[in-house]
């Protein structure tokens, strides 16, 4: 299993329940795909460095996890089809 981290930004118009539901959905994708979540760090609502589709802020969340090499592809697919995600990135840790 390899170590990965993902940061995703959710749309600022989400209410607290919708935000938590989306975070749980993405955690579920990792856990159901055989991954192990090591850390979830919710940064909260922050201003974006630049405007994306007329959006100036978003809810940031960082997730560190271990998984097989196929899981990040599935997680990326789920991020792309989710309307709540403004931006996301998944990187492999070299540790």
Q: Which CATH class is domain 2-92?
A: alpha beta
Neighbours of 84 (CB within 10 A): 20
Which residue in the block uniquely carries the two structure tokens 């979830």? 40
What is the distance, to the nearest Å, from the Cα of residue 83 to the centroid of all Cα atoms in its chain?
13
3-state SS of the chain: helix, strand, coil percent to 5?
30, 50, 20
Q: How far is CA 88 from the centre of its chain?
A: 6
Span 2-41, pLDDT tens digits: 999 999 999 999 999 999 999 999 999 999 988 999 999 9
Q: What's the pLDDT score for residue 1?
A: 87
pLDDT (tens digit per residue) in 65-89: 999 999 999 999 999 999 999 999 9
């Amino acid at each position: 299993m390899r170590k990965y981290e993902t940061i995703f930004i959710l749309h600022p118009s989400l209410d607290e329940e919708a935000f938590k539901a989306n975070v749980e959905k993405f955690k579920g994708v990792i856990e159901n795909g055989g991954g192990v979540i090591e850390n979830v760090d919710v940064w909260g609502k922050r201003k974006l460095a630049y405007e994306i589709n007329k959006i100036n802020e978003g809810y940031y969340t960082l997730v560190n996890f271990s998984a097989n090499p196929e899981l990040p592809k599935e997680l990326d697919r789920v991020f792309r089809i989710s309307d709540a995600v403004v931006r996301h990135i998944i990187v492999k840790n070299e540790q």
